[in-house]
């Protein structure tokens, strides 16, 4: 089972209320605060995120189990934990970038209501 969460779009413009993802060296916004569920991502120059992720939008889905959604897929970024609230993985299928997200707790970074 999966549920749409957001579309991620790369930007070079600083956004209001960005959060820092240290593992990826990227600033992100909460898609829960955007009317079209858009997450803006602003990468630092030394970010190790693959160029295919930086150069393309992604579609994100909430899932209960990452393994069942990434098995047999072309994995671009293997599963990792963001903060203390989210486990994610990025794959390419249908020539599109997909992010699968397993929430470990509700909320976005320190914001339980986001």
Parse the chain into domains and list their residue ranges: 2-103
Tokens linked to 63: 């899932």
111: left (phi over 0), alpha (psi -120 to 50) or beta: beta
- Tens digits of per-residue pLDDT, 34-60? 999 999 999 999 999 999 999 999 999
For the beta carbon of residue 53, count every other beta carbon within 10 angstroms.
Answer: 22
- Tens digits of per-residue pLDDT, 6-20? 999 999 999 999 989
- Cβ burial of 84 (10 Å; 0-12, 13-18, 19+) is exposed
pTM of the predicted protein model: 0.88
Q: Among residues 17, 34, 20, 25, which one has the least CA distance to residue 9? A: 34
CATH tag, 2-103 = 3.10.180.10
């Amino acid at each position: 089972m999966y549920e749409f969460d957001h579309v991620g779009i790369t930007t070079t413009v600083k956004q209001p209320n960005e959060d820092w993802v240290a593992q990826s060296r990227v600033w992100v916004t909460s898609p829960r605060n955007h009317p079209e569920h858009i997450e803006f991502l602003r990468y630092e120059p030394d970010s190790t995120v693959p160029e295919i992720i930086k150069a393309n939008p992604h579609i994100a889905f909430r899932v209960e189990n990452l393994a069942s959604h990434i098995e047999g897929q072309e994995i671009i970024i293997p599963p990792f934990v963001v903060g203390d609230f989210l486990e994610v993985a990025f794959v390419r299928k249908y020539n599109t970038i997909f992010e699968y997200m397993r929430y470990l707790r509700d909320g976005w970074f320190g914001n339980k209501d986001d």
